[in-house]
Structure 1
């Protein structure tokens, strides 16, 4: 069964596993409202991140999820909303 909550810790782990972290970026810092681009994550890294989230959590994200949810806080909320909608569907 897929996990029912996506946390900031899950996102950090997936980002590090898929793309690592740019030198000078502390993912343990106050990054929740920082754009992924400012954190050093560009399109290919974000595609990898989305794919990992989809596989691990058993859901499908919109193609523009990082455009409409450009920060860790917004993405975490979007993934959790998708998980809730899958549960009620």
Structure 2
């Protein structure tokens, strides 16, 4: 399964939400969002709930996305190996 921080980054990138807008919504600096998305900082429960709100998902949907994105990444790696 994909890590939570990778899933947060994937969703933000997929939705094309600038890191600056997420930072403003969380009331933090952009580097904090970067650190959350790279597993260097664990979001607080309040930040995690706010991220769900920003991205329009609940806990169950987020966990499902973790599984889906993991399998998508595996699939894309297989295609990349076949092409090379």
Same fold (TM over 0.5): no
TM-score, structure 1 normalization: 0.36
Larger Rg: 2
TM-score, structure 2 normalization: 0.37
